[in-house]
Structure 1
Amino acid sequence: MKVLVIGQGGREHTICWKLKQSNKVSEVYCAPGNGGIGSIAEIVPIKESQVNELIQFVQEKQIDLTFVGPEQPLTEGIVDQFEKAGLKIYGPHQSAAVIEGSKSFAKELMKKYHIPTATYEVFTTENDAIRYLEQEQTKAPIVIKADGLAAGKGVVVAQTMEEAKQAVHDMMGEAKFGEAGYQVVIEEFLQGEELSLMAFVDGETVLPMVPAQDHKPVFDGDEGPNTGGMGAYSPVPQFGEKDVEQAVKTILLPTAKAMVAEGKPFRGILYAGLMMTAEGAKVIEFNARFGDPETQVILPRLETDLVEVIEASLDGTLHKLELEWSEDNVVTVVLASPGYPQDYPKGLEITGVEKAQEQENVFLFHAGTKLEKESLVTSGGRVINVTAKGSSLKETREKVYKAVDLIKFEGVHYRKDIAQKAMNFFGNLVQKAQEE
């Protein structure tokens, strides 16, 4: 079978890599792809937004299956348009992708169906939002979110009221995130550790994946502004099977049922960004697709053929499937351009990629790269995901950072504490055992 993956980031590189492993797949195409995807898939120079051209390409090449990676085309209805043309495509319809496209919709859905999340208010004017922040009972830290899509950057955890007001002004007054910030959600700050839990969903059928932990802030120790994600790891030993089962029972299953009840049945990848609080798991956000960089640590652990999962979802037999996962530890570290997540230069030459790829059980998933003549250069904020697999977390972290050190470009920066929370957890267990 011929498959097309739509997108150009690290997530899409990982999806292409996984699909390529299927015995059912003969050819993989990627539109528009990046400087690294071309080594495993045929690059198609059509942008994600050029739906008519994509449809024409699929028809001409007789592509059997299309997989949509990023959120923008999903929320704009690419699945509906492909299906209207009689083409097989995997991802939620536009009506269901609204769970990511509108944070206010997601919050109202959770409130209506009693799905645990932070308390919140929605505002359509800057003055009303500022007035709310100035109320006596409103306390910092507090979370300000652009209602629409902002590439994972439209969330500010304000430590003071002045920061909160500035965030509202940036989003609503200065249109920092364009139309995404015309409406904002202000919500309670949740205490705890974050956990990413994704599932293959078809209507009320939910097949959960193994969890991962993302690292959103740009600097070590969770300091600095939020990004699209600076690294991830899986498994997450701080949280056991019971924690995951409870999150599936109280969040993923009720959400899938709620979407059906609302006449917006979800089919595709449902992502729940969770905060594991003292009261249990609560939803920070929903996405309508694979997380990035969580995909880079989840798919290397998936032992079931990804094509089989997609086909089962499309033909209504997902409930008959059981997923198989490896026990491997997988860690990914994002190498970012200087200045990211703010303005950054492009066209910086990247070296050391070949040496890094030679390391055993190390995979490079490109995000913001492109080939320029004979050179690989930067073309985005998040440049390369360096990913390693190993039997222990300690070994895997050492392996991934050894590979990271081999890759060079001017101003490269990355977090040096990916998976440190899990290492601390193991350290605390050892200390507790010694004390006993």
Structure 2
Amino acid sequence: MNILILGSGGREHAFAWKLAQSQLCDRLYIAPGNAGTASVGTNIPISYNDFEAVAETIIKNDIELVIVGPEEPLVNGIVDYIESRSDLSKIKIIGPNKAGAQLEGSKDYSKNFMQKHGIPTASSRTFTIEDLAIGLEYLETLPLPIVLKADGLAAGKGVIIAEKHKDAEQAFTEMLVDGKFGSAGSKVVVEQFLKGIELSVFVLCDGENYKILPEAKDYKRIGENDTGLNTGGMGAVSPVIFADANFLRKVEEKVVKPTLRGLKSEGIKYVGFIFIGLMNIKGEPFVIEYNVRMGDPETEVVLPRIQSDFAMLMAATAKGNLNDFDLKISPQVAVTTVLVAGGYPGEYEKGKVISGSDKTEDVHVYHAGTTFNGNAETVTNGGRVMALTGVANSLENAVRKSQRAAQVIQYDGKYFRHDIGMDLIRYND
């Protein structure tokens, strides 16, 4: 089977690494890919938002299965586009159509969906610029802190947690009046702040059946001890100690099953991943958000724990045979530390030569923001550069492996957090 992965990050390198291990995978293509994916497949230098170029790539390379990594092409309707073309009618795609992708594409839609289908979540209200005065008055009535979310896709930067009412009012005005997040902020969801422990649960759906994949916890803030600006993710751990079997049963009964029933009742045949961002509040799950793809860097700790053939898992999903698939999960612990460019998540430079990745030991090195320069050297090409995953029988050893690799790899301006997983070690104590 010839497989095409759309995307260029650590998530896509992890997909490619796992798929390349399967005898079911004949030829593997990644568009556009990165310096890491080039070692396990063939990179195709096209944009995943150029649907015609994607279609041409599918035809030219006899692709049978497409796995869509990032959310943007899904929200833009790439699945609908491929399904609309008669010459691509036999192509199988892992990813929801445009209607299903609204779970991530619109915060307002997803909040209404949760409320309609009885899925536990924070109370909220949505405002547009026409409601500016009403919204500002409403903010004054809320207890602190206050959560404000841009309705649309904002590259992971559209959520603001305001500790003061004046900060909430300023952020609210910047989104609606000043267009801080462009069209993504034309609606603003104002939400009750939930206090608990955050984690993510991943569900794979084939349109009828589902499998729950390993859960994970990620670390979003740039600074140690969860301080500073939000990022796309500075590290992740799987499994999660505070998500015991009882809690995960509640997630399945109170969140996963009602979500899938809700999609079906709205006429949406959902094929692909659902990433459920959760808050564990005194043992009860509350949904923070849905994403319609795997997380990054969570994929880099989830995939090493999947012992089953990943290409066979993807094929079973595409064909609607998930119920017959025997999903095997390793009991080991996976920890990933993300290396980022100096200045990230603000302005940063690209093109810094990377060395030392060949000197790492007993760790999975997943490339994210990397490419090759004119001298065929691997260089930085994004804010998040690499994800380094250690797998071990204990959390402490997995942390040690991941952190040791983070010390070995070098490039100008390298930064990483030294405390990934440390809170869970303390939690264990």
Q: Do the two structures share a fold, i.e. TM-score over 0.5?
A: yes
Which deviations, in whole Å up to 9, do the C-alpha atoms of 1:210-245 show, x marking residues without a partner?
111011112111112221111101011122111111
Which deviations, in whole Å up to 9, do the C-alpha atoms of 1:86-115 show, x marking residues without a partner?
122211111111101001000000011110
2:62 aligned partner: 62
Q: Residues 368-387 of structure 1 correspond to what in structure 2 (within 5 A)?
A: 368-374=369-375, 375-387=377-389
182-191 vs 338-347, which moves further: 338-347
Which deviations, in whole Å up to 9, do the C-alpha atoms of 1:4-39 show, x marking residues without a partner?
100000000000111111110121110001122111
1:301 aligned partner: 305
Which deviations, in whole Å up to 9, do the C-alpha atoms of 1:380-412 show, x marking residues without a partner?
111111111111111111111111001222222
Q: Residues 283-362 of structure 1 correspond to what in structure 2 (within 5 A)?
A: 283-356=287-360, 359-360=361-362, 362=363
Mapped contact 1:388–1:396 kept (Cα < 8 A) = yes
Please tell me whether residue 131 in structure 1 is matched to residue 132 in structure 2.
no
1:2 aligned partner: 2
Which deviations, in whole Å up to 9, do the C-alpha atoms of 1:326-370 show, x marking residues without a partner?
1111101111112211222222222222212xx02x011111111
DSSP 3-state at the match of 2:288:
strand
187-196 vs 164-173, which moves further: 164-173
1:164 aligned partner: 168
20-29 vs 404-413, which moves further: 404-413
2:15 aligned partner: 15
CA RMSD of superposed structures (Å): 1.5
CA distance in 2, matches of 1:129, 1:45: 48
Q: Residues 224-243 of structure 1 correspond to what in structure 2 (within 5 A)?
A: 224-243=228-247
1:221 aligned partner: 225
1:94 aligned partner: 98
Mapped contact 1:156–1:225 kept (Cα < 8 A) = no
Q: Percent identity?
A: 39
CA distance in 2, matches of 1:134, 1:60: 54
Question: Residue 366 of structure 1 aligns to which amino acid in structure 2?
Answer: H
Mapped contact 1:133–1:165 kept (Cα < 8 A) = no
1:432 aligned partner: none
CA distance in 1, matches of 2:139, 2:213: 42
* Structure 1 stretches lacking a partner, 5+ long: 428-436
2:76 aligned partner: 76
CA distance in 1, matches of 2:286, 2:301: 23
CA pair 128-202 structure 1, distance change in 2 beyond 3 A: farther
> How far off is 1:174 after superposition?
3.0
> How far off is 1:122 after superposition?
0.5
CA distance in 1, matches of 2:318, 2:405: 38
Question: Residue 326 of structure 2 aligns to which amino acid in structure 1?
Answer: E
CA distance in 1, matches of 2:344, 2:398: 26
Mapped contact 2:107–2:151 kept (Cα < 8 A) = yes
TM superposition score normalised by structure 2: 0.95
Mapped contact 1:146–1:183 kept (Cα < 8 A) = yes
CA pair 201-129 structure 1, distance change in 2 beyond 3 A: farther
Mapped contact 1:213–1:234 kept (Cα < 8 A) = yes
The partner residue of 1:202 within 203, 206, 215 is 206
**Aligned residue-pair number:** 423
CA pair 169-218 structure 1, distance change in 2 beyond 3 A: farther
Q: Report runs of 4+ in structure 1 exceeding 4 Å deviation.
A: none
TM superposition score normalised by structure 1: 0.94
CA distance in 2, matches of 1:386, 1:221: 19
DSSP 3-state at the match of 1:221:
coil
